[in-house]
Structure 1
Amino acid sequence: MTAQESHATPPGPLQGALDHERYCAELLAETERLRAALRGADLTAIVPTCPDWTLAELARHVGGAHRWAGELVATRATDLISPADVPGAAGPDDDSPEALDAWLVEGAERAVAALREAGPDAAVWSWSPDHRAGFWARRMAHETVIHRADAALAAGADYVVPPELAADCLDEWLQLCALPEAAGRWAEHADGVFGPGRTIHLHATDSPTGLHAEWILDLTGDRLAHRRAHEKAAVALRGPLTELLLALYRRRSVDDTGIEVLGDRSVFDAWLDYASFS
C-alpha cells in the first residue's frame, strides 16, 4: 500500500488519504520536529497564535493530548475519559526543558504503541462520527502539525510539512468544518458566510507531481461542502501548500504570506471569521 492510499475502511466524513501506519509514523516525526523547535527556545515566551499559552504550556497541551488519545485507544474506551484521569497527562513534575522534552517523547511513543497494537478499525470512543482508532492516529498527527506551527512561529524556527501530510491536514480541517456539529456550534456566526455565488478556490502552487492539491469550498448552501477540484470561484487563493494550510487554520495572515488572492477577498475573510474551534 502506498502512502497516498487509504486503509480499506468504510468511507465516511472523516476518511483520510494516508494509511494508518503513515499516520503513526508522522505522529512520531512531527513530535520530533516539535521538540526541535522547542530546543533552546525561551519556554516562558507567549505563543502569538495561542496567546493564552507560553511555549511550555503549548508543549504540555500537545503531550497531554497524545497521552489522552493513547489512553482512549489502549483501553478501547466506549465513553469519554477525562484527561484529568490519564496518568501523566498534565505534564512532567520537573519544569526543566530536559524533563519536558523527555515527557513529549514518552507520550508520543505510548500513543503510537497503542495505535499500532489496536489497528485502524478498533472501536474507540471519539467526539466525532468516526469511532475508530484510526481517527485518533490521524487527529493526533494533525494536532501536532498545527501546534508545531504555533511553536515554530513563536520560536522563530523553520516550518515545513511533508506535502502529502499537509494536504491531508487541510482535508481533515475541511471535513471537521463540514460536520453538522460544527454548523450548529457556529450558527450564530453564519450571517454573511453562506449564500449564492459564495465559493473559494484553494490552489497549492508547489504540490509535487501526483498530488492534486486544489480545493473548492462551496458555501452556496447552509453549510460547507468541499471537494478537491480546479474550478472558478468567487475568490481564489494561490500559494505554497503549507502557507494555505496556515491561512486556513488562522495561524498566519494571507497578507504575511506568498499567497496571491484573486477575486472577492471578503468571501474568504468571512469564512475565516466563521470557522474556528478556538
Structure 2
Amino acid sequence: MPAPSHDRYCDEIADQLGRLRSVVTSGADLSTPVPTCPDWTLEQLVRHMGGVLRWVELHVRTRAAQSIPMTEVPGYAGPEVQGDARALDAWLAESGDLLVGSLRAAGPDVAVWSWAGIPTSGFWARRMTHELTVHRADATLAAGLPYEVAPEIAADAIEERLEIVAWAQRTRPGDTGARELRRGGDTIALHAQDVEPPWLIELADDGLTWRRARADATVTLSGPLTAVLLAFYRRLPLDAPELGITGDRELLAFWLTRTSFG
C-alpha cells in the first residue's frame, strides 16, 4: 500500500477534523472522562487537539527554524467559556482550516522545525493526520460512538509509529523504554485481516527493524485493521473480542509499555 501524498494528508486532516467536530456537536457530555487519556475530559482532549493544530500551523506558516512556545500561539487555549459545544466547535473548525491552508500553501518540502529529525512541512502533514486519527478515536470511544478510519490511513499510522520508535532508539540512547526494546531478535507480527502482508517487527540488539512479510513471530496480534491499529496505540485492550494473540503475549504487552514514549 503506497504512502499517502501530501495532498491526501491535507484532505485527511480536514476529514478527521469534521469527524471530531461531529463528536463535539453530538450532544455528548463534554465533561465525560476519556478512558484512554485518563487525565482528560472530552473537552480537555478537544482543546488539546485544537491547540496543537494551531501550534503546528504557526510553525509551518512562519517556516520556523526552532520550536515556538505554545504561549506564543494565537488562540491556542480556545474559547474562554467552558462547556460551550458551539464555541468549541467553531474554534476547532478554524484551527483545522488554518492548518490545512498553511500546509497546502507550503507543499511537502518546505524547511520547518520538527522534533523527529525530519524538518519539513511534509512531516507535519503526516504527523497531524495521525495525531487526529488517534485522538479522534479517544473522543469517539469516550462518547460511545462508532469509529472507523480509511485503510490506507490506518496502515500509515502503524508505519509512522514504527518510525518514531526507531527514531527514539537512534537518538535517545539513555531512554529506558528505547533501550529495553533491543531484545536480541524477538519478533512481533501485526496481522490485519483486511490488509496483506502483515508487519513483521524485529527487536534486534542494534535497533528496531520491520518489513511486510508472512513469517513465524514470537507473538502475533491479529484482527481487523482498525482494531490492530487501536491496540497498537494502546486505545483498545488486548483482550478485546475482535483481537487475537498467539505466542508470547507478555512480549506484546512489554512492547506496548515500552513504546509509550512514542
Superposition deviation, residue 151 in structure 1: 0.4
What CA distance in whole angstroms lies between the structure 2 residues aligned with 1:26 and 1:218?
Answer: 30
What is residue 70 of structure 1 aligned with on the other side? Answer: 57
Report SS of the residue matched to 1:178.
Answer: helix
Q: Is residue 251 of structure 1 aligned with residue 235 of structure 2?
A: yes
What is residue 226 of structure 1 aligned with on the other side? Answer: 210
1:37 counterpart (14, 23, 27): 23
**CA separation of 1:144/1:184 partners in 2, compared to 1, >3 Å: closer, same or farther?**
same
Q: Is residue 168 of structure 1 aligned with residue 163 of structure 2?
A: no
What is residue 153 of structure 1 aligned with on the other side? Answer: 141
**CA separation of 1:87/1:149 partners in 2, compared to 1, >3 Å: closer, same or farther?**
same
| Residue pair 2:30, 2:41 contacting (<8 A) in 1 also | yes
Counterpart AA for 1:34: L
| Residue pair 2:201, 2:208 contacting (<8 A) in 1 also | yes
What is residue 237 of structure 1 aligned with on the other side? Answer: 221
What CA distance in whole angstroms lies between the structure 2 residues aligned with 1:93 and 1:74?
Answer: 25
Superposition deviation, residue 139 in structure 1: 0.5
What CA distance in whole angstroms lies between the structure 2 residues aligned with 1:84 and 1:20?
Answer: 28
What CA distance in whole angstroms lies between the structure 1 residues aligned with 2:52 and 2:213?
Answer: 33
What CA distance in whole angstroms lies between the structure 2 residues aligned with 1:183 and 1:223?
Answer: 11
Report SS of the residue matched to 1:195.
Answer: coil
Calculate the TM-score normalised by the size of structure 1.
0.88
What CA distance in whole angstroms lies between the structure 2 residues aligned with 1:272 and 1:125?
Answer: 28
**CA separation of 1:122/1:191 partners in 2, compared to 1, >3 Å: closer, same or farther?**
closer
| Residue pair 1:186, 1:274 contacting (<8 A) in 2 also | no
1:206 counterpart (167, 190, 194): 194
Calculate the TM-score normalised by the size of structure 2.
0.94
1:79 counterpart (62, 66, 73): 66
Aligned pairs, how many? 260
| Residue pair 1:183, 1:223 contacting (<8 A) in 2 also | no
Report SS of the residue matched to 2:200.
Answer: strand
What is residue 21 of structure 1 aligned with on the other side? Answer: 7
What CA distance in whole angstroms lies between the structure 2 residues aligned with 1:186 and 1:274?
Answer: 13
Q: Is residue 113 of structure 1 aligned with residue 122 of structure 2?
A: no
Structure 1: segments with no counterpart, 5+ residues? 6-16
What CA distance in whole angstroms lies between the structure 1 residues aligned with 2:65 and 2:133?
Answer: 27
Report SS of the residue matched to 1:262.
Answer: strand
What CA distance in whole angstroms lies between the structure 1 residues aligned with 2:203 and 2:169?
Answer: 16
Could you list the per-position Cα deviations for residues 80-101 of structure 1 after superposition, in whole angstroms to 9, with x for gaps in the alignment? 1111101001112233110000
Structure 2: segments with no counterpart, 5+ residues? none
What CA distance in whole angstroms lies between the structure 1 residues aligned with 2:174 and 2:145?
Answer: 33
Could you list the per-position Cα deviations for residues 124-149 of structure 1 after superposition, in whole angstroms to 9, with x for gaps in the alignment? 11111111100011111110000001
Report SS of the residue matched to 2:207.
Answer: coil
Counterpart AA for 2:256: L
Runs of 4+, deviation exceeding 6 Å? none
Percent identity between matched residues is: 47
